[in-house]
A and B are shown apart, each in its own frame.
Chain A
Amino acid sequence: MTGIVVGNTIRNAWKQVLYWGLGLGVLGVYIVFIGSDSDIVKGYASLFESMPPAMLQAFGASSLEMFSSTEGWIVTIFVSEAAIFLSVFAVLAGMNITANEENSGIMDVALSLPISRTVYLAERWLGYAALGLGILVLTGAITLVSTAMFSPGADGGKVLLTILNLYPGTLLVMTVTCLLGAVLRRRAAAVGAAAVFVVASFIFNIIGAAASGVIADLMQALSYFSHAQGEGIVQGSYDMAGTVAVLVVVAVGFSLSVKQFESRDIGL
């Protein structure tokens, strides 16, 4: 590994960091700004109070107290929305690792160079992983500054940590999409399957959070959305095991992608 492909990947796509980071940052500013008005937050809280508790839990908050706090508001609303947007980025990035280049024919040129398929895929993956981190850092920085401006009493460090903790889930979706692209080969099929993975994960998280019982717990555990753990970070009950589990799945998915990519025909 020389890092040349990583560098080229970042050079080709660095604008995505700006677009996605600024877009999510603006969303963060908006949510922080609303959260600075306690009347609005209370209004939302009373709205949730009139609903079954499951509705609030589906949004990722276990109690109205948590939801009504400034950090709780930011984390609950922002994390649930940012996680969805980042999933879209991750699917696009996962497709860009190999599937799109293969589909366009660029891969024929790339793999005629003195670089193995494994190294090429690994460097592309690292490039997009770096871009994803860049987006989260930019988003976090903007949100941190806006928190300091509009909600100076809030713990900006926790807000930033919550945003950065979206990274394992982003890597997971990216890797799963990369694997789907390596297995299915047809770009449309891979995108479709990745979308099903994201939507199913989202639904599993909502149902799992709203319901109780073994099956509901299992559904939530299977959803990468549940491992963002915004509330856990704010309340100091962050569970490292969930994040580690996501990263293990990322490692397995990456290995399977490499194996599949190494063993099959390219560009057909």
Chain B
Amino acid sequence: MLRRNASQESGSEESNMASGSVIATTGLTKAYGSGSQITLALDKLDLRVNQGEIFGYLGPNGAGKTTTIRLLLDLIRPSSGSATIFDMDVRAQSVEIHSRIGFMPGELSLWEGRTGLQIINYIASVRGDAKGIAKNADEIAERLQLDTSKRVRDLSSGNKRKLGLVLALMHEPELLILDEPTGGLDPLVQQTFHEMMNEYREKGKTVFLSSHVLSEVQAICDRVGILRDGDLKAVESVERLTHVEFHHIEVDFRDAIPAGLQEQLANMPQVSQLSANGNRISMRLVGDFDPLLRAIGAGYVELLRVEEPTLEDIFLAFYSDKEKAS
């Protein structure tokens, strides 16, 4: 049975619950529809996010990541269960909680006719301390190379995301909740974003970010929760998750597949799912590339394709390894 709940994680998880987490959910459930048309978007989520960590919330589209975030922000109401942030109920004390968090939605919409600066000033005013926040916003915008004098309607999708990050970060919140934060950002800005998150963690602040980009999660997160079909399948440290990292490999030879290569690859412990079709050989490779490159060097390689595993692949591999181990 693959199903496992985060609350069934390690003993350290239990101790975190006792010590009080920044985010804590208990049996948090969200269902849409009624009668026979009920769709379970989130199923009895038990999750703890600790202070000072960057927690990656991973899952394919429709897994329930955004639903969780919307529940935490009190934008939608749970069908059952509860959630707290800073030990305060997300519904009853939402205003107080919101004063201490920064949020960027996955699909960011802002007032199209207003400039970035006008929106920054408005939101800074709502948050109080408009001057101090606006000064921070200036620094963040400069770092992200964002021109805040442009109207939102004139910004590219990447620049809109930058503005969203400025709005989420400018008041130096204790907790950041970011839904797919780097979608549409160019690699350089993504790098800056990763640096900012690391600095954020060093200040003892907490980040909860949803993503379906494994590399991003690997780069900055301490722990990862894997969500599928509204069910939290596991909470793992990034080290443990990446231990099962692998790639799908396809090698096209100009001529026939070199004699004995298939047997040689089949005997390699890091190679699995090996198949051949004409001059092409396909496999799944775990770990370093070097042994594979040495093995295929016997033939003339016309094309070498390397595909990142999908989250689903990682998930399945992760659990098949765990089942084998047990």
Question: Are A105 and B107 neighbours in the complex by a CB distance under 8 Å?
Answer: yes
Binds B, one of A55-63, A110-118, A193-201: A110-118
Question: Are A106 and B94 neighbours in the complex by a CB distance under 8 Å?
Answer: no
Q: Is A4 an interface residue (CB 8 A)?
A: yes
Q: Is B315 an interface residue (CB 8 A)?
A: no
From known contacts A4-B125, A114-B99, A116-B95, infer whether A12 and B75 are also in contact, taking CB-CB under 8 Å: no
Question: Are A108 and B122 neighbours in the complex by a CB distance under 8 Å?
Answer: no
Question: Are B123 and A113 neighbours in the complex by a CB distance under 8 Å?
Answer: yes
Number of chain B residues close to chain A: CB under 8 A: 29
Interface string of B92-121 (1 = CB under 8 A from A): 001110110101010111110110001000
Residue of A whose beta carbon sits closest to that of B112: A104
Question: Are B126 and A108 neighbours in the complex by a CB distance under 8 Å?
Answer: no
Q: Is B221 an interface residue (CB 8 A)?
A: no
Q: Is A137 an interface residue (CB 8 A)?
A: no
Question: Are A266 and B126 neighbours in the complex by a CB distance under 8 Å?
Answer: no
B9 nearest CB across to chain A (Å) = 29
Question: Are B122 and A8 neighbours in the complex by a CB distance under 8 Å?
Answer: yes
A173 nearest CB across to chain B (Å) = 24
Question: Are B103 and A114 neighbours in the complex by a CB distance under 8 Å?
Answer: no
One of B76, B126, B167 near A114 (C-beta < 8 A): B126
**Count class of interface residues, chain A:** 20 to 34
Residue of B whose beta carbon sits closest to that of A266: B75
Question: Are B109 and A112 neighbours in the complex by a CB distance under 8 Å?
Answer: no
From known contacts A8-B122, A106-B109, A106-B110, infer whether A113 and B75 are also in contact, taking CB-CB under 8 Å: no
- The secondary-structure label for the interface of chain A is loop
B185 nearest CB across to chain A (Å) = 18
B109 CB contacts on chain A under 8 angstroms:
104-106, 108-109
- Cα distance A112–B73 in the bound complex, in angstroms: 6
B161 nearest CB across to chain A (Å) = 13
Question: Are B108 and A5 neighbours in the complex by a CB distance under 8 Å?
Answer: no
B74 CB contacts on chain A under 8 angstroms:
111
Q: Is A47 an interface residue (CB 8 A)?
A: no
One of B76, B105, B125 near A105 (C-beta < 8 A): B105
Q: Is A65 an interface residue (CB 8 A)?
A: no
- Cα distance A114–B101 in the bound complex, in angstroms: 9
One of B32, B75, B77 near A108 (C-beta < 8 A): B75
Q: Is A265 an interface residue (CB 8 A)?
A: yes
- Cα distance A267–B75 in the bound complex, in angstroms: 8
Question: Are A111 and B73 neighbours in the complex by a CB distance under 8 Å?
Answer: yes
- Cα distance A115–B109 in the bound complex, in angstroms: 18
Q: Is B150 an interface residue (CB 8 A)?
A: no
Question: Are B76 and A268 neighbours in the complex by a CB distance under 8 Å?
Answer: yes
A150 nearest CB across to chain B (Å) = 37
Question: Are A115 and B75 neighbours in the complex by a CB distance under 8 Å?
Answer: no
- Cα distance A264–B91 in the bound complex, in angstroms: 12
B123 nearest CB across to chain A (Å) = 6
Question: Are B126 and A4 neighbours in the complex by a CB distance under 8 Å?
Answer: yes
From known contacts A109-B105, A114-B96, A114-B98, infer whether A265 and B77 are also in contact, taking CB-CB under 8 Å: yes
15 intermolecular pairs with C-beta atoms under 8 Å apart: A2-B126, A104-B109, A105-B109, A107-B75, A109-B103, A109-B108, A109-B109, A109-B110, A112-B103, A265-B75, A265-B76, A266-B76, A267-B75, A267-B76, A268-B32
With A105-B109, A112-B98 known, 5 other A-B pairs at CB within 8 A are A112-B75, A112-B103, A113-B127, A114-B95, A265-B76
B residues whose Cβ falls under 8 Å from a Cβ of A: 32, 70, 73-77, 94-96, 98-99, 101, 103, 105, 107-111, 113-114, 118, 122-123, 125-127, 167
